[in-house]
């Protein structure tokens, strides 16, 4: 272990000499953390709506006013017929078509029921599903208000439901999004940079000089891992400070518990990156391999799609996905204020991954003269 400080000094010198690494490691994550939560949103807005109003009554105008006042829809045109509205959808100028039939006000006032037709452009499935649900909710609310106003005794009172969002009362998507973004940035820094480390030595030829020395493989792997572990911890700290200062999100649970989990998590991620590095012959090859795995980790991590909504086989795969454990722990501790016992299964899973991946990396690295 006496050679480890020497190896660490060498690695830190290489990092600080390479300005590109510092920019990628510090500046790029900060910019991504500031831009992504502002640009990305789980809330669908600016849905282009074309209306075919064949009734042209007071109630149909009230309905359209309620739809446009919701803030989710953007009225692009009043079409004279469904064919004209469909042409706008084909031209990608509209996302939804709302057709109000003639006799809309008469039937609604007399029978308190009237059908309208909604056509949804489903090329973008998410936008179509959410937009259609928004419009359906507004129509049901409008129907209830009309019945209550013009025929208050004709229908029984509905059950009043009052909901409250625990741990995120305003249902702000950024509050749920930012912990996941921070988890992904830490993963990118730890995984990508460590994957390029050994192959960089191999490409420059300095690996041969190290291989002929009596340095133990364990010390060599530790020397490659510790600098990027410290760098990733710094990025994580900056991310926590930005979450608090820019977005007003402070951890509800123990900050030290977060750091304890992230410390073990980074050992697993860095071990995986070093393992990939021992198998690859060039930096380009290592980058493509890590990109392949990181994309799968992120898509199956539960940030964009809830894990419970995935197929059964995908839910099983998430148990072996370090990013899924990281995102879950970040949300539990930062938003819910959970303690150690709540994240113990995730902690044990990540610790097992760290032991397996780093042992594999040490065994797979072969010193050849």
Q: Where are the domains of the chain?
A: 4-40+171-364, 47-150
DSSP letter at 158? P
CB 44, CB 121: distance < 8 Å: no
Q: How confident is the model at residue 1 (pLDDT cuts 50, 70, 90)?
A: low
Give the pLDDT score at 42: 67
Give the pLDDT score at 57: 87
Token pair listed for 183: 């988890």
CB burial of residue 204 (10 Å; 0-12, 13-18, 19+): exposed
Closest to 224 in 3D by CA, of 205, 210, 238, 204: 210
Residue 50 and residue 88: Cα distance in Å, rounded? 8
Q: How confident is the model at residue 258 (pLDDT cuts 50, 70, 90)?
A: very high
Alpha helices (H) in 205-311, listed in sequence order: 206-211, 217-245, 255-279, 283-299
pTM: 0.78
pLDDT, one tens digit per residue, over 51-61 is: 999 888 888 88
Token pair listed for 365: 């690295």
Residue 242 and residue 250: Cα distance in Å, rounded? 10
Bridge partners of residue 98, in order along the sequence: 51, 118
Give the pLDDT score at 369: 44
Q: Cα dihedral sign for 224, 225, 228, 230?
A: negative
Contacts of 146 (CB under 8 A, 6+ apart): 59, 108, 109, 112
Report the CATH architecture of 47-150: 3-Layer(aba) Sandwich (3.40)
Residue 70 and residue 186: Cα distance in Å, rounded? 38
CB 294, CB 187: distance < 8 Å: yes
Whether residue 368 is predicted with pLDDT greater than 60 in this model: the reply is: no
pLDDT, one tens digit per residue, over 350-360 is: 999 999 998 99
Sheet holding 96-100, edge to edge: 73-78, 47-53, 96-100, 117-120
Residue 187 and residue 298: Cα distance in Å, rounded? 10
Residue 116 and residue 308: Cα distance in Å, rounded? 34
For range 84-112, the mean pLDDT: 85
Give the pLDDT score at 103: 86
End-to-end CA distance of the chain: give it in Å, rounded: 22
């Amino acid at each position: 272990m006496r050679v480890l400080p020497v190896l660490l000094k060498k690695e830190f010198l290489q990092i600080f000499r390479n300005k590109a690494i510092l920019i990628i490691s510090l500046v790029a994550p900060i910019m991504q953390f500031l831009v992504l939560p502002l640009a990305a949103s789980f809330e669908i807005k600016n849905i282009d709506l074309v209306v075919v109003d064949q009734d042209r009554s007071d109630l149909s105008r009230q309905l359209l006013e309620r739809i446009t006042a919701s803030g989710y829809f953007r009225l692009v045109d009043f079409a004279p017929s469904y064919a004209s509205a469909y042409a706008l959808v084909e031209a990608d100028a509209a996302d939804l078509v709302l057709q109000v039939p003639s006799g809309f006000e008469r039937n609604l006032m007399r029978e308190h029921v009237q059908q309208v037709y909604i056509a949804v452009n489903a090329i973008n499935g998410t936008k179509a599903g959410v937009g259609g649900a928004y419009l359906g909710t507004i129509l049901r609310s409008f129907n209830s208000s009309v019945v209550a106003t013009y025929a208050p005794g004709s229908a029984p009172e509905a059950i009043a439901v009052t909901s409250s969002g625990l741990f995120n009362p305003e249902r702000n998507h950024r509050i749920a999004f930012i912990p996941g973004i921070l988890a992904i940035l830490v993963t990118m820094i730890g995984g990508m940079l460590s994957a390029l480390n050994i192959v960089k030595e191999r490409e420059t030829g300095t690996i041969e000089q190290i291989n002929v020395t009596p340095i133990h493989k364990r010390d060599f792997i530790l020397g490659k891992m510790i600098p990027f572990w410290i760098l990733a911890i710094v990025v994580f700290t900056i991310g926590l400070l930005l979450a608090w200062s820019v977005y007003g999100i402070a951890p509800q649970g123990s900050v030290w518990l977060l750091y304890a989990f992230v410390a073990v998590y980074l050992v697993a991620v860095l071990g995986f990156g070093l393992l990939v590095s021992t198998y690859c012959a060039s930096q380009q090859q290592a980058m493509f391999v890590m990109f392949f795995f990181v994309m799968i980790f992120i898509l199956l991590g539960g940030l964009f799609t809830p894990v419970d909504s995935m197929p059964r086989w995908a839910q099983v795969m998430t148990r072996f996905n370090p990013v899924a454990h990281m995102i879950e722990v970040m949300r539990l501790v930062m938003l819910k204020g959970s303690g150690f016992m709540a994240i113990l299964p995730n902690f044990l899973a990540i610790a097992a991954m760290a032991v397996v991946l780093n042992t594999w990396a040490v065994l797979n690295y072969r010193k050849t003269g």
